[in-house]
Structure 1
Amino acid sequence: MAGRDRSVRDDRTRGGTDRRTGAAAARARRPAPDRRPTAAGEGTAPADRPRGDADGLLVGDVPAGARVAGVLLVLAGLAGAAALFPRYLVVGGEELTLGGGVGAVLTGLLVPLVSVAVGAGLAVGRVPRFGLAAAAVGGALALGGLLIELYRGSSSTVRPGIEVLAGERVLTSVVETGPGWLLQVAALGMAVLAGGCAVLVWGRTRMEDRGALDPARPGLAGAAVLLGVLTVLCLALPAADVPDRLVADPATGLEVVVEQEGPQALLERPGLALLGGLLLAGAVLLAAVVAPSLRPRLAAVGGLLALTVTVLAAGLTGLRDAVASPDLEWTVPGAGLLVAGLAYALLTVLAWRVGRTARG
């Protein structure tokens, strides 16, 4: 009996040891949990490693200056949206409002809404070089617009001329500024500051990928430069102009063409407006060259996005002016701006999709 009890105990001991050994082996064979996040900046990651995803996108620590640029972009967008509704300018006793109609409001909200969306993402540290690229390109483009805006509200009366402001054909003999103009100047000024912050912190912001866009960059850059040249040529002339009139000559009875004075071209204005026009044209060409070369892929997408909304907004503004005013008609340069803006939008989508297609 005692021998049988010892045999049972030995069997139980061996069984328990075998079960423990099997469980330990199963735990050893079990793969370690993957701690990589599923998207840049999501999930958990060790504190001493940059964040990354399956696409090879690595995002390091976001500098405080990048977050400041994001906040400035948000404020610029909010100020730009608010500028649409109060009085903009009083020209010759006529009050003008930037958001005078549904079409004007929708057109005017394009740049502010993109600015708020991009700035919010940058402020919380998501894909920072995407936001920094958009802020840098947008700030360069806003500098020329800021000088033109300052000219309209301060020195346009020094050399009065016909202008198209807020969809109205006016003579800038007497100009008074309103809250809408102040908000517009503030919005452009904060966009310029955001661009400056983006340039300063660009080199200290780490964000890398596997280079899926690299094979397509030369073609993308070539198309962007061609569109940049087209955009500058179209900006040089008014997007909405006063059409010529046919008048019957009472002496001969023949109809003759009488030219009417229309709005001044971008490079025909004096002082700050001329400087702003030159800076705007130069910024468009520079952005068209630089944006497709920015790394990683999402940085190129951000730069092209800022260029897209600026050019598209200019084209839509010309179309809005021609539709809203019976004295104006849409011009070929205005149509060219709209085409260039849509083409830039296509390039932006292509730059975004190329990397995703290569990843799939």
Structure 2
Amino acid sequence: MVIGTVPALVPVCGALLVLAGVFGAAAVVPTYLVVGGEELRLARGVWSALVALLVPAVHVAVGATLLRRAVPKFGLAYAAVTGALAVGQLLIEIYRGSSSTSRPGVEVLAGERVLTSGVQIGAGWVLGVVALGLAVLAGGVGMAAWGRTVMEDRGALDPVRSLLAGTAVLLGVAAALCLALPAADVPDELRTDPATGLQTVVTREGPQALLERPGLALLGGLLLAGALLLCSVVAPSLRPRLGAVGGLLAVAVTVFGAGLGGLRDAVVSDDLDWTVPGMGLVLVGLALLGLTAAAWRARRSAT
């Protein structure tokens, strides 16, 4: 590995990424939203807190490597992909806190099934939006610094790069399809007519799917799905090898975190069940983490 010129933008990107992680972690504790007079928090126990802290912890860890100017293109690739994915998430969060009452509907927020007829923002929502905004800014700085940063290797990943890219694209498509449906949903209710004993299935209104939401949320959903597909294509092609590792790690953490979020909602709420798309997100996230590990371990045999 040869590391040459490292521009001043690299530690700036690292600082923004660390701040995004810190604000994201801080958003776990205070009130997230007040819906119908009920205060919602992102963490309602140790398990939900660990799930909510997963992505912020990775942000801080990767941002710290950029602050030390160590393997800079690893961190820059992570920041750029994270920033691209955070744009859609930011628009969805803005919709939840400011526009969801214009078209009230059943939604799952912080593991609670609520009707968004009245929503007031809390400190947790503000901190979360700031964290996403910092992630987007870090991504922009990371892309600006990428071409000015000199970091090369011996091409250890080149023999398997096409296989890696094909697998990543398939996993990206699977993740986008799973994201389109709720990771935790309301199960149908089975009712029995006492007079006839006939059982019927009654469909209960559940959370809105990603692309069923209006306005900013719909735009955010489309951007998130599109960015996920694009980043799955681009990440394996990044050079050097650690650049591909950083890009794949960002995709993997986002997908895995979304799947665990659905599991968290199903665990903490009696009204929700973990869905097949939610399980799919966890499996795809684990597969992407495995792909990231494979890229990390790739070495060219000594000749």
TM-score by length of 1: 0.83
Q: Give aligned-pair identity as a percent.
A: 70
Q: Which residue of 1 aligns with 2:87?
A: 143
CA drift of 1:294 comes to 0.3
Q: Per the alignment, in what secondary structure is the counterpart of residue 197 of structure 2?
A: coil
Who is 2:5 aligned against?
Answer: 61
Q: How does 1:1-360 map to 2 (within 5 A)?
A: 57-250=1-194, 252-355=196-299, 358=301
Partner Cα separation in structure 2 for residue 79 and residue 129 of structure 1: 24
The one-letter amino acid paired with 1:292 is P
CA RMSD of aligned residues (A): 1.1
Using the TM superposition, give the Cα deviation of residue 358 of structure 1 relative to its aligned residue in structure 2, in angstroms: 3.7
**Structure 1 consecutive aligned stretches of length 4 or more whose deviation exceeds 6 Å:** none
- Give a deviation string over 1:187-231, Cα, whole Å, max 9, x none: 000000000011111111110000011001011001100000100
**C-alpha separation between the residues in 2 aligned to 1:101 and 1:170?**
20
Q: Secondary structure at the match of 1:266?
A: coil
Secondary structure in structure 1 of the residue aligned to 2:166: helix
Rounded to whole Å, the distance in 1 between the matches of 2:139 and 2:50 is 25
Deviation at 1:249, TM superposition (A): 2.6
Q: Relative contact order (C-alpha < 8 Å, sep 6+): which is higher?
A: 2
Q: Which residue of 2 aligns with 1:12?
A: none
The question of whether the paired residues in 2 share the 8 Å contact of 1:212 and 1:359 is answered with no
Matches of 1:214 and 1:335, distance apart in 2 = 32
The answer to whether the Cα contact below 8 Å between 2:184 and 2:263 also exists between their aligned partners in 1 is: yes
Distance in structure 2 (CA, Å) of the matches to 1:246 and 1:180: 37
- Seen in structure 2, the aligned counterparts of structure 1 residues 321 and 358 have a Cα distance that, compared at 3 Å, is farther
Letter aligned with residue 302 of structure 1: G
Distance 1:154 1:359, change over 3 A: farther
Max radius of gyration: which structure? 1
Give the partner amino acid of 2:260: L
- Partners of 1:72 and 1:175 in 2: how far apart? 30
Partners of 1:294 and 1:300 within 8 A in 2? yes
Cα deviation, residue 124, structure 1: 1.8
Deviation sequence 1:53-78 (CA, Å, 0-9, x none): xxxx1111211112111100000000
CA apart distance, 1:275: 0.3
What are structure 2's unaligned runs of at least 5 residues?
Answer: none
Q: Once the 2 structures are TM-superposed, how far is the Cα of residue 253 of structure 1 from its aligned partner? A: 2.4
Post-superposition Cα deviations, 1:33-52, rounded to whole Å, max 9, x if no partner, equal: xxxxxxxxxxxxxxxxxxxx
Instruction: Please state how far the C-alpha of 1:359 moved relative to its aligned partner.
Output: 6.0
Aligned equivalents of 1:203 and 1:129: distance in 2? Answer: 10
Aligned counterparts of 2:45 and 2:222: Cα–Cα separation in 1: 31
8 Å CA contact 2:29, 2:41 repeated in 1: yes
Partner Cα separation in structure 1 for residue 301 and residue 43 of structure 2: 43
Instruction: Kindly provide the amino acid, as one letter, of the partner of residue 297 in structure 2.
Output: R
Residue 250 (structure 1) shift? 4.3
User: Which secondary structure state, in structure 2, belongs to the residue aligned with residue 204 of structure 1?
Assistant: coil
Which amino acid counterpart does residue 330 of structure 1 have in structure 2? W
Distance (Å, rounded) in 1 between the aligned partners of 2:301 and 2:114: 53
Q: 2:5–2:148: 8 Å Cα contact kept in structure 1?
A: no
The aligned amino acid for 1:271 is G
SS across alignment from 2:280 = helix
The 8 Å contact of residues 83 and 184 in structure 1, kept in 2 or not, is answered as: yes
1:278 is paired with a residue of what secondary structure? helix
* 1:228 partner amino acid: G
